[in-house]
Copies of this chain bind each other. A is one copy, B any other.
């Protein structure tokens, strides 16, 4: 069974996409690292966009789960905390994957607008839930701000010199996000 090669391609592509950016990564570069030629990649993935879709799936699924969970929750402070924690978990679990969207949003849009739209829509829905029912403008802004704080999970590793454990990151960022909402 040669899901092996398919997986290897996916892994290498994920790493390059998230560090160099989607558009800045050529299929030649990926092929080289895997130990194949460009043409052989096309046997496994029908296009660069198809490769991106395969890579991105877990993140979309993860967020969808959080969204489903949130939809069935009343908007209490405890539930807000819980939902934020779950969003943070998904982000930490898919760190490099989120990096693709932060490094080269424009490239993703150009290659696969529908993928990007899915992410934006889910971000909107999560922020909407966080803002609560019939939110004021300020509450909406604070909800967006809280999600931005969670995004700091990723830039953080680039900014900080020392390694930070996932547990500390989880604890501090969750509290910080709640603080951004003044909760």
Binding site for B on A (CB under 8 A): 20-24, 102-107, 109-110, 120, 123-124, 127, 137-138, 140-142, 144-145, 148-149, 151-152, 155-156, 158-160, 162, 164, 168-169, 172-173, 175-177, 179-182
A23 touches B106 (CB 8 A): yes
| A23-B107, A24-B110 known; A159 vs B144 contact (CB < 8 Å) | yes
| A141-B169, A144-B155 known; A149 vs B23 contact (CB < 8 Å) | no
Q: Could you tell me the distance between the alpha carbons of A97 and B172 in the complex, rounded to whole angstroms?
A: 31
- Output the nearest chain B residue to A104 by Cβ-Cβ distance: B106
A105 touches B102 (CB 8 A): yes
A176 touches B180 (CB 8 A): yes
B144 touches A152 (CB 8 A): yes
- 11 A-B pairs whose Cβ atoms sit less than 8 Å apart in the complex: A21-B105, A103-B106, A104-B107, A120-B158, A138-B168, A142-B172, A145-B177, A148-B151, A148-B155, A149-B149, A180-B180
